[in-house]
Amino acid sequence: MKIGILTSGGDCPGLNAVIRGIVLKGTAVYDLEFVGIRDGWRGVVDGDFFPLTRHEVKGLSKVGGTILGTSRTNPYEGPRGGAENIKKTLYSHRIDGIGAIGGEGTLAAANRLANDGINVIGVPKTIDNDLRATDYSFGFDTAVNIATDAMDRLRTTGDSHQRCMVAEVMGRHVGVIALHAGIAGGAHVICIPEVPMSMDDIVAQVTKAHDRGRAPLIVVSEGFKITGMDEAFSDKGLDAFNRPRLGGISEVLAPEIERLTGIETRATVLGHIQRGGSPSAFDRVLATRLGLHAADAIVDGAWGQMVSLQGTDIVRVAFEDALGELNTVPLYRYEEAAALFG
């Protein structure tokens, strides 16, 4: 059996560890043959494949990024896109199925292809930890560690100048990175998409911290909405799946906070720093385990499903169970952290 492996969507620490896990177990235990698919769904559409053996994956668990490349291509767009064209491309290369490693957009495309008769299994990937069918996704732990390190650094420069520092982290419409990094970094305010706040609410906490002699630190998720905003802030257009490219809300908040409080305020957008570098030990282990179980799922013919972490076990769930609703921050989790504000 020949299987193509792809990584799609935003890159994230741990992708290479998944690839390594699938290939090592697939070749050593099941005698599977693998090909790498370059640049996600773009490579499927264009037939851009290359042999993927034990040699290509050696030592990859600690390496960030993805050796396969990635893109945000929609496999149903373009003259060579669509299920029927993709079936022909896979058949011509004698590829029996696809292992798709990606987040919500990737898995939605995989689900559509599976429903159209193409053999696909999935491995969930997102630093945002917003997929509801898995307790944790690899990349999240590394992103929180990076964001927390940034908070520690912003605290020292903020303390030196008695400035208010606003740090913006990724997460799209889910605030779990902001929540965890904010708690770990000792933030005085945490702004997440699940809990809209007014400028008055934010200013009250900033002023409270400043009056105690502290340099206020605010952590804001890129998808946060100030009360009265209909949509999350976006001025970067749409991605290939017609989703707004978020980012920049901190640069909206900072001048308003300074205007309303008189406290010098600076904004820092962490952006793609959160995606780069080597994965944490937790993410290396989780990604490797998901890869190993993905190889099992391929041999068992568990097409239309993805491997998932539930508790400490790796299980299989249907694509539909991972899509639709996002894995948002429960209100009680935010209320726990709110005791630390101000």
Give the DSSP H or E segment for 121: strand 120-124
Do the first three CATH levels of 2-138+279-322 and 141-275 match, i.e. the same topology? Answer: yes
SS3 content of the chain, % helix, strand, coil (to 5): 40, 20, 40
φ/ψ of 238, rounded to 5, equals -115, 155
Q: Is the pTM of this model over 0.75?
A: yes
- In the chain, what are the domain boundaries? 2-138+279-322, 141-275
Model pLDDT, residue 245: 80
Bridge partners (DSSP) listed for residue 267? 166
Nearest-angstrom CA–CA distance, 61 and 53: 15
> For 85-93, what is the mean pLDDT?
97
Nearest-angstrom CA–CA distance, 214 and 228: 29
For every residue of 283-307, DSSP letters joined together read HHHHHHHHHHHHHHHHHTT-TTEEE
Structure tokens belonging to residue 28: 């050593």
Q: Enter the DSSP assignment of 226.
A: B
CATH homologous superfamily of 141-275 equals Phosphofructokinase domain (3.40.50.460)
Model pLDDT, residue 283: 98
Reply yes or no on whether the pLDDT at 335 is more than 80: yes
Residues recognised as catalytic: 128
Bridge partners (DSSP) listed for residue 326? 131
| CATH fold of the domain at 2-138+279-322 | Rossmann fold (3.40.50)
Model pLDDT, residue 237: 74
> For 84-90, what is the mean pLDDT?
97
* Under 8 Å between Cβ of 294 and 110: no
Q: Enter the DSSP assignment of 222.
A: T
C-beta atoms surrounding 241 within 10 Å: 15
Q: What is the pLDDT of residues 42-81, one digit of tens each?
A: 999 999 999 999 999 999 999 999 999 999 899 999 999 9
164-169 and 265-269 as β-strands: parallel, antiparallel, unpaired? parallel
Model pLDDT, residue 240: 59
Q: What is the pLDDT of residues 144-162, one digit of tens each?
A: 999 999 999 999 999 999 9
Model pLDDT, residue 325: 85
